[in-house]
Amino acid sequence: MEPLIFAIGDKTPKIHPSAFIAPGAVVCGDVEVGEDASVWYGCVLRADTNKIIVGARANVQDGTVIHVDDPKWGGLPTTIGSDALVGHKCMLHGATVAVGGFVGMCATMLDGSVVETGAMLAAGAFLSPKKRVPAGELWAGTPAKKFRDLREGEDKMALIGAAHYVAEARAHEAALNAK
């Protein structure tokens, strides 16, 4: 099974040659995936009405759904900065994960919400529209609110995870090519 990558009208995905798009992933429309980034099994990145950007070395883990709304209705793009980590089964809609931002498993980010550089959104959290997780903070809950300040080194967890996922992507790519 290959990933399903296709244009919608004149909106064509632009995927860096070193990026890993896993089998079973769907990438369609105005999507950019950067150098050494990874989009894992079962993800859907649907940019039919606005743009989705996945920065260099960022990872979008298994089962995540990313979508956008048309700007003529006030919709926003979804942007995932370089070295950001988006955990398994997340939902991002018109949201921004800044460079080195961390989004835990099964978290939801809605229109205009932001996870800043060096910030963490906990697993299962629900970040309401236009809410911002500031650098140095961990937000959790439904709706998400500040849980605590990050401990020393926790602000670097996405960077560590990004490097790990670059290596994992290479290993999966090699295994898939060997079959």
Are the beta carbons of 4 and 14 closer than 8 angstroms? Answer: no
- In whole angstroms, give the CA distance from residue 124 to residue 105: 6
pLDDT at 73: 87
Tell me the pLDDT of the chain averaged across its residues.
96
Structural domain for 142, as ranges: 4-178
CB atoms within 10 A of CB 148: 11
Residues in contact with 29: Cβ distance below 8 Å, sequence separation at least 6, in sequence order: 7, 8, 11, 12, 13, 46, 47, 48, 49, 52
5 pLDDT band (50/70/90 cuts)? very high
171 pLDDT band (50/70/90 cuts)? very high
Of residues 159 and 52, the one with the higher pLDDT is 52
| CATH number for position 111 | 2.160.10.10
For the stretch 85-113, pLDDT in tens is 999 999 999 999 999 999 999 999 999 99
Residues forming a β-bridge with 6: 28
Distance (Å) of CA 75 to CA 33, 110, 112, 136, 145:
20, 11, 9, 28, 24
How many domains does the chain fold into? 1
pTM for this structure?
0.96
Are the beta carbons of 30 and 52 closer than 8 angstroms? Answer: yes
pLDDT at 179: 74
For the stretch 117-138, pLDDT in tens is 999 999 999 999 999 999 999 9
pLDDT average, residue stretch 35-49? 98
Are the beta carbons of 52 and 45 closer than 8 angstroms? Answer: yes
For the stretch 66-83, pLDDT in tens is 999 999 988 999 999 999
